[in-house]
Structure 1
Amino acid sequence: MSAGNGGANGAGNAGANGAENAEDLGRYDVIVIGAGGAGMCTAIEAAAAGASVLVLEKQNRIGGMLHIANGEFSGAGTRRQRERGIDDSPERHFEDVLRLSHGKVDEKLAWKSVKAQGETVDWLDGQGFDFHPDTPGLVHGHEVYSVPRTYWGVKSGLSVVKPLKRRLEEQIEAGRVRLLLNTRLTGAIVDAAGHVTGITATTAGGATTATTAPGAPGAPAATAVGGAGGELVAHGGAVVLATGGYDANPGLRNRFLPDGCESALIGCLPHATGDGLELAMGLGAQVSRDGYFIPVMGLIPDPGQEGFAVDYREAFIEVAPAYRTPYEIWVNDRGERFVAEDGTSPEHRERALLEQPRIAMHVVWDRAIAETAEPLIRNGAGDWTRERMLAELERGRWIAVADTLEELAAKLGVAPGGLAATVERYNAAVRAGRDDDFGRTTLPAPIERAPFYGITTVGASILSRDGLRVNEDLEVLTESGAPLPGLYAVGEILGNNVFAGDNYVGGMSVTPAMTLGRELGARLGAGR
């Protein structure tokens, strides 16, 4: 293990990369960029194997997207399944992954993860993970597995952060990990043979080096390093990019989205700007361009932040009939229905939305429904009561209200005649007890009592579909298919298509990030 200053070779290369005056952080066996689920697991296992590890995180806390994510993960053959009499295996899990992804995953990488994901679940169990009592369960927000093998915590993604934070702090306290917050990757140090041997970084107001202390998830105590800010350089035997996705960077995101999807809302946190992806591309890394996109439904455009969705921890529209009986109708900009609102296939309704102008839809209902139905708006905390929903109707933040359907259509930007005709036809279907247009079978009430209400939702991107190409050892590949020596990648920077194909597959984002991060860290630590 090495933790001293970089030698002349490292310093010279730093100078060649424009960091002559940078503060030298020294040399480490492993440098991990990003402290989300993938980065933390990589660092924890590398340090546990005896490596010296430097972790750089551009935010002032660890945890990345887990602060907003549901934090669902999946694994087969776990202790928790056995205790509940659920017969499952990694092979069966993989069959489901292939079915749900339409066979479009990277089979080698997906299987490498799936076969070990049950062990990851058991590992979290051993760390005292606070499982929700309903787990393992079937999650109906997207197409479901054949058996319950999805898990989540009582505090969603924060439940995942808690044990990872504790394990990381143990390694910090032992002196094997140094964690710098508020530190952003700016470049790579590459030697004459083409090996990545270190990184350059910058701090806006001084980096902070984390120390162990109790506190909120993702917020270790920290002391200043790097003065009032400036350039940093570090040298390492291996550099791991665990910087997450790029969906909060519309210019970069839209380069990968299919034509016509550029209006997709940004549903992730704003730090996901693709720093690691852009750095690797600058080194000649190969990036997938699969052209897959399937929207997340139900997010609400944020009036205060153009292009972004309202934080779904505060509010989203419940579109899954497994969780709420639909009373409303959904129409596109032409005022036309386009799918059965009570359809049980999430993928079917997601793909139907994908065909609509601006991938937008408008949910329409009336006063009688407002007073009868369960709240249309929900969040993870479950605190949207009918009373709160009725109050929101008057608040005017997201919901339009009008005395006539024509007036409502104008407020929503919908063709007025189209909406009125659609509601009339839908009401006739309610009276007949049969929807000849789309086969909806849940027809609880007509939409006829003023005032009328509407809310717009636009399909959203919450994770990156495309990403860096890597081999089975998670080495970043060049356009020619050769590894970039010394550079590795794990987590969302690989793109979700690798593990979910052209669909969403339960737990196949968070779990591969943790599972392959643990495997990569252990291997790099052992081979230092």
Structure 2
Amino acid sequence: MLRESGTLPETVEVLVLGAGIAGHCAALAAAEAGAQVLLLEKSGQPGGSSAMAGGGFAFSGTDLTISAGQDDSLEAFRRDLFESGQGQNSPALIDRFLENQLEAYAFLKAHGVKFEIYAAVPRIHTTGTGRAVTNLHVAARAHPCIQFFSKTSAMRLHRSAPDGPVDRATVFYGDQELTITATRGIVLATGGFSRSREMLRVFAPELLDAVKHGGVANTGDGLMMATMLGAGLADIGHVTGSFGGAIRNYPHGVQGADEVPPLIFAFQAGGIIVNRNGQRFINEDQSYKTLSPAGMKQPGGIGFQIFDEKLIRLSLADSSVNNYAEALHGDYLRKADTIPELAARMGLDADALQATIARYNADVVNGTDGEFGRVKDLIAIDTPPYYIAATANALTSTYGGITTDGGMQVIDWLGEPIPGLFAAGEVVGGFHGAGYYSASSLSSSATFGMCAGRAAAGVPI
């Protein structure tokens, strides 16, 4: 899958920067519209954050949702997206997504992506971590109109005239600095900025030391290149962490530059969270986004997820989320036969932790969480061995970025289009608004990538 040698073409019809799910969908859609496409990836492997995500896609009205008996409508989907985004979503992007999401679902299936329905949560279609982008990469490599190169980073976009279209990109390929001309259009699908300390320091300083879970090449290159041309920004102020990023070998571990830790959300299935004092601090029956601010306020910004053997049996294979077996193997999760021994593994006060778990278990028996009012998944922690994971806020993605219109063309601060430049995926702001609707990242990235590729190739969408 790697391309480390060869000659980059000097001229192409459509240039796609970034080979995550949005970039692959853009490349395939443009090629199927008759364009010659060059797909470039900064890192050594295609996939980006898409290859690390849990593999859930939010779609409405598919064959799987219908067969599962899910009563849904596009209007209900629209309402839920705006409610999640607190009404700050871009109506143009919401409309584009809803109008094209079923076609994007069929597009993905046509290129080898296999879905299963997750009946427990409406609209969620699962593929397994990284599988979708792997299928798309196989399809892209097989397409005669697509050339792919890895280890190739774009640093600057150019216009031939001050008001003309964006038609060239400066890229670094090995030790060469090259200029590539795109005669039809350029698609930015370069991901977010979760791995850029410089941009985090500016846009989300409170997350500077969060556990990094996004693509290792997500350093904000597309954001930088587009804003140099005057592109507007949206949703940047709403970048938040997701509580549950695991810390290896706590308290001695230091996250490596290219390390991608697992996400552990055991609290959503019956586990509890305590702080360094061995005390619960919140109702755990909330989303990982909601828990993020409370987790940051705890000593050291650390929360310890605790559960027992009953929950370990629910470990998810082929996933970056709740794969307890892999987390245990990687020293992100530890186990012990007793609670005092478990406390010692993380340097917690054994008496305090025992008291916390004893009170919680008593509340489970009584059917009422007397401390925080938890109602869902009240499950006693009473079956050894016991498990503990030191977790903190994880920065999985930065769902804020440059502005586009409904045709996925990048627009400036005045709402005027920047000719020749299109965008899709995590680099785009406006779709999520002030929140995040679960599993909408992959489905919107695929949908907008498909639309952006067609638009860059000159096909009306």
TM-score (normalizing by structure 2): 0.82
SS at structure 1 position matched to 2:244? coil
> 1:151 and 2:125 equivalent?
yes
Q: Is the CA contact 2:153–2:173 (under 8 Å) kept in the aligned structure 1? A: yes
2:208 matched to which residue of 1? 262
The root-mean-square deviation of aligned C-alpha atoms, in Å, is 3.8
Q: Is the CA contact 1:72–1:157 (under 8 Å) kept in the aligned structure 2? A: no
* Distance (Å, rounded) in 1 between the aligned partners of 2:225 and 2:349: 45
Q: Which runs of 5+ in 2 are unaligned?
A: 1-6
What amino acid sits opposite 1:158 in the alignment? R
1:177 to 139, 146, 157: 146
The alpha carbon displacement at 1:473 in A equals 2.7
> 1:197 and 2:167 equivalent?
yes
- More RCO (CA 8 Å, sep 6+): 2
* Distance (Å, rounded) in 2 between the aligned partners of 1:40 and 1:462: 20
> 1:507 and 2:439 equivalent?
yes
Call closer, same or farther: CA 1:293–1:104 in 2, change over 3 Å: same
What amino acid sits opposite 1:55 in the alignment? L
Call closer, same or farther: CA 1:243–1:260 in 2, change over 3 Å: closer
SS at structure 1 position matched to 2:149? strand
1:375 to 303, 312, 319: 312
Bigger Cα Rg: 1
1:4 matched to which residue of 2? none
* Distance (Å, rounded) in 2 between the aligned partners of 1:165 and 1:30: 17
* Distance (Å, rounded) in 1 between the aligned partners of 2:142 and 2:319: 34
2:199 matched to which residue of 1? 252
What amino acid sits opposite 2:141 in the alignment? E
> 1:362 and 2:304 equivalent?
yes
The alpha carbon displacement at 1:49 in A equals 1.8
Q: Which runs of 5+ in 1 are unaligned?
A: 1-22, 140-147, 205-228
1:306 matched to which residue of 2? 255
Call closer, same or farther: CA 1:124–1:388 in 2, change over 3 Å: closer
1:319 to 244, 266, 282: 266
* Distance (Å, rounded) in 2 between the aligned partners of 1:298 and 1:242: 27
Per-residue CA deviation, residues 41-76 of structure 1 (Å, 9 max, x unaligned), is 112222222222222222334333332222222222
Q: Is the CA contact 1:72–1:150 (under 8 Å) kept in the aligned structure 2? A: yes
The alpha carbon displacement at 1:268 in A equals 1.8
TM-score (normalizing by structure 1): 0.73
Q: Is the CA contact 1:362–1:454 (under 8 Å) kept in the aligned structure 2? A: yes
2:119 matched to which residue of 1? 137
What amino acid sits opposite 1:301 in the alignment? I
1:353 matched to which residue of 2? 295
* Distance (Å, rounded) in 1 between the aligned partners of 2:322 and 2:92: 46
* Distance (Å, rounded) in 1 between the aligned partners of 2:106 and 2:258: 34
> 1:399 and 2:334 equivalent?
yes
Call closer, same or farther: CA 1:91–1:457 in 2, change over 3 Å: same
1:278 to 221, 224, 247: 224
The alpha carbon displacement at 1:31 in A equals 1.3
Call closer, same or farther: CA 1:412–1:104 in 2, change over 3 Å: farther
* Distance (Å, rounded) in 2 between the aligned partners of 1:241 and 1:428: 54
> 1:168 and 2:140 equivalent?
yes
* Distance (Å, rounded) in 1 between the aligned partners of 2:220 and 2:320: 34
2:59 to 75, 78, 85: 75
Call closer, same or farther: CA 1:308–1:299 in 2, change over 3 Å: farther
SS at structure 1 position matched to 2:10? strand
1:215 matched to which residue of 2? none
Q: Is the CA contact 1:294–1:502 (under 8 Å) kept in the aligned structure 2? A: no
Q: Is the CA contact 1:73–1:150 (under 8 Å) kept in the aligned structure 2? A: yes
SS at structure 2 position matched to 1:521? helix
* Distance (Å, rounded) in 1 between the aligned partners of 2:153 and 2:336: 45
Q: Is the CA contact 2:408–2:451 (under 8 Å) kept in the aligned structure 1? A: no
What amino acid sits opposite 1:517 in the alignment? G
